[in-house]
Amino acid sequence: MREQKVIIIVVVSSILLILILGLFLASVIRRVHHRVRYRRLDRLRDFYAGKIIADLDAGGGAALPDDYRATPGSLEWQAVEDVLFPLMDDERYKGEVRRLFSGLGYVSYYEDRLSSMNNVAKESAIDKLGRMESEASAAKLFPLLDDTDPAILSNAVRALSKMGSKEGLRAVVDKLPFLLRQSLVARKTIETALLNFGPAAVPVLIDEHGESADPLVASCVLNTLSHFSPDTRAVFLAIERLSDADPEVRSRALRVLARAEKNLPAHLPTLVLPLLSDPVWFVRLQAVKAAGALPSEQAATAMGKLLFDPNWQVRSGAALALAELGDSAVDVFLDALTHYDAHARESVCEELDRTGFTGRLIANLTSPEAAVREKSRQILTIMRTAGFTARIAEYLRTAADDRTRSALRELLAEGPRR
């Protein structure tokens, strides 16, 4: 009995050893095979890169489909594909390379793989058709917009946006409510893809979803509008959404208005300024940016209150928006520095330095307007007293104007103290 156990142990141990050695040898052989394969692929890439570019430069692209046709999946096939994709980024070759992808069979090959049961293979095919900018393949991607897999959806939308066809844009817009509810990742991809369609997406979105009550759809539409110069329709759509119950919608409506340079109604300040007191911080931030575009002293005064907002991004945004208003913000900054405690003053001084407004204040020391000159000097004195002298000292070293240097020396005469 004991001998039988020993024999069994020896046999089992031998089998395990053989299996381990077999796995080890298989791993070694696989590595060697891959190394040889990759080296050959690198050589093929170098060969095809030089030859294809030379032929394209020589105007011989018409012969390439026959000269470079390869069996799908072969190393030659992969090497040619790897050479052609980077050439899509070069405007000199893009049109010819798109034709080559079709002529060499890559488009039809990846179209066939759209029906694969393997999602990884399907995602790769979608991505490559998009990178090839194959507009003729757009219709084959439309059924994928009904897929419940967020990765498939995201890739299909992204590919359609790269193809840039009007039919692809309309297909995405038609499915927008469904697409936006699939996942956060898909939602971000869709918003980016709509931007890739360019300004052509704007009228389609307004026509189809301008009055949508769905906050996800409304937010997505406004996000797209905010990246392009708003026309009259976009401006009035944004105004209608300023009172929306969803803070994301209000925020993005404000982003649209912040970009508008014309078509603005006279009563816009009465619509935007109340949102500086919105309970949601990112709405206040966008309200500051929108208010900064309003030619109104009332806007400057209202923005000044946000220099002490509980949220640092809002404080920073208010300071930057005020700095961009120029001398009309001097009174606001002076008021903030003279009516609040030391901690608040230091916060404002930091923002004055960060936004570069200190430079304007220094330039104002020689302003022909006495009021601007005196108020700017008062602010700089408060900054010096609070210890913010580095920027002033820097200007003293670099100022080319004698009057400015003299004013700065006088300002720094007592030295900083806290």
Asked whether the predicted pLDDT for residue 316 surpasses 50, the reply is yes
User: Which comes out higher in pLDDT, residue 152 or 62?
Assistant: 152
Q: For the ranges 242-251, 348-357, 389-398, which has the lowest average pLDDT? A: 389-398
Per-residue pLDDT at 160? 95
Asked whether 106 and 98 are in contact (CB, 8 A), the reply is no
Per-residue pLDDT at 73? 85
Locate the domains of the chain by residue range. Answer: 37-104, 325-418
User: Which comes out higher in pLDDT, residue 304 or 413?
Assistant: 304
Per-residue pLDDT at 65? 64
Per-residue pLDDT at 417? 45
Asked whether the predicted pLDDT for residue 9 surpasses 90, the reply is no
30: left (phi over 0), alpha (psi -120 to 50) or beta: alpha
Per-residue pLDDT at 167? 93
Mean pLDDT of 378-394: 86
Mean pLDDT of 235-241: 94
First-to-last CA distance in the chain?
Answer: 94
Per-residue pLDDT at 269? 87
CA atoms of 318 and 385, how far apart (whole Å): 23
* Cα 161 to Cα 193, 305, 334, 347, 383, distances in angstroms: 5, 43, 50, 45, 51
Per-residue pLDDT at 80? 93
CA atoms of 9 and 11, how far apart (whole Å): 5
Asked whether the predicted pLDDT for residue 415 surpasses 70, the reply is no
Single out the residue of 251, 241, 245 nearest to residue 209, CA to CA.
241
Per-residue pLDDT at 418? 43
Mean pLDDT of 29-42: 75
Q: For the ranges 109-118, 153-162, 221-230, 254-263, which has the lowest average pLDDT? A: 254-263
Asked whether 216 and 180 are in contact (CB, 8 A), the reply is yes
Which tens digits make up the pLDDT trace of 108-135? 999 999 998 899 999 999 999 999 999 9
Tokens 């003293």 identify what position? 396
Per-residue pLDDT at 64? 59
Give, for 232, the enclosing helix (H) or strand (E). Answer: helix 232-240
Give, for 272, the enclosing helix (H) or strand (E). Answer: helix 268-272
Mean pLDDT of 214-230: 94
Per-residue pLDDT at 299? 83
Q: Kindly report the number of other CB atoms within 10 A of residue 187's CB atom.
A: 18
CA atoms of 210 and 202, how far apart (whole Å): 10
CA atoms of 408 and 418, how far apart (whole Å): 19
Asked whether 406 and 395 are in contact (CB, 8 A), the reply is no
